[in-house]
Structure 1
Amino acid sequence: MNLDKWVQLNSQTAGRDKVARLVQYTSRALWDLLESADMSPALADSFKTVEYILSTFRKLLRFGRCVDIFYSSLRTIHYPDLTIRVTLTLSKLSQSLFLLADHFMWLARTGLFKDINSKRWGEFANKYWLLSIIMNLCRDVYEIFRLLDLRRASIKSGITRVSDSNSPLRVSSLRDFNRLALHSFALILIHKDVAVDTIKNLCDLFIPLTGLGYTKLSPRTIGLLGAISSAAGLWALLEPTAKLTPV
Structure 2
Amino acid sequence: MDSWVRFSAQSQAKERVFRAAQYACTLLGYTLQKNGTSPDFLARIKQLEAHLSLGRKLFRLGNSADALEAAKRAIHLSDIVLRFCITVSHLNRAMYFACDNILWAGKSGLVPHTDQEKWSQRSFRYYLFALIMNLSRDAYEIRLLMEREMNGKCQKGAGDNSCTPREDGKLQQLTLRLKLQLRLLVHVLRNNPPLLVDVVKNACDIFIPLDKLGLYKTSPGFVGLCGLTSSLLSILTIVHPWLKLKP
| TM-score of Structure 1 vs Structure 2, range by shorter chain | 0.7 to 0.9
Give, in whole Å, the separation in 2 of the partners of 1:171 and 1:111: 69
Give, in whole Å, the separation in 2 of the partners of 1:186 and 1:192: 11
Aligned to 1:194: 195
Check conservation: 1:60, 1:106, Cα contact below 8 A.
yes
Check conservation: 1:171, 1:180, Cα contact below 8 A.
no
Matched, 1:67 2:68: no
Q: Structure 1 residues 180, 135: closer, same or farther in 2, change over 3 A?
A: closer
Give, in whole Å, the separation in 2 of the partners of 1:144 and 1:182: 13
Aligned to 1:227: 228
Give, in whole Å, the separation in 2 of the partners of 1:126 and 1:187: 32
CA RMSD of aligned residues (A): 2.5
Q: Which runs of 4+ in 1 moved over 3 A?
A: 170-173, 178-187
Paired letter, 1:198: V
Paired letter, 2:104: W
Deviations 1:48-86 (A, max 9, x none): 122111110010001121122112211111111111100
Aligned to 1:166: none
Q: Which moved more, 1:181-190 or 1:106-115?
A: 181-190
Query: How many equivalent residue pairs?
Result: 225
| Shift, 1:183, TM fit | 7.9
Aligned to 1:125: 123
Check conservation: 1:78, 1:85, Cα contact below 8 A.
yes
Q: Which moved more, 1:86-95 or 1:37-46?
A: 37-46
Deviations 1:23-71 (A, max 9, x none): 1101101101111221233332222122111110010001121122112
Paired letter, 2:56: R
Q: Structure 1 residues 171, 192: closer, same or farther in 2, change over 3 A?
A: farther
Aligned to 2:171: none
| Shift, 1:103, TM fit | 0.5
| Structure 1 alignment gaps of length 5 or more | 1-7, 160-169
| Shift, 1:12, TM fit | 2.0
Instruction: Give the fraction of aligned pairs with identical amino acids, expressed as a percent.
Output: 31
TM-score, normalised on structure 1?
0.83
Aligned to 2:89: 91
Aligned to 2:114: 116
Aligned to 1:163: none
Give, in whole Å, the separation in 2 of the partners of 1:26 and 1:85: 35
Aligned to 1:46: 44
Check conservation: 2:194, 2:242, Cα contact below 8 A.
yes
Give, in whole Å, the separation in 2 of the partners of 1:241 and 1:232: 13
Q: Structure 1 residues 109, 184: closer, same or farther in 2, change over 3 A?
A: closer
Aligned to 1:105: 103
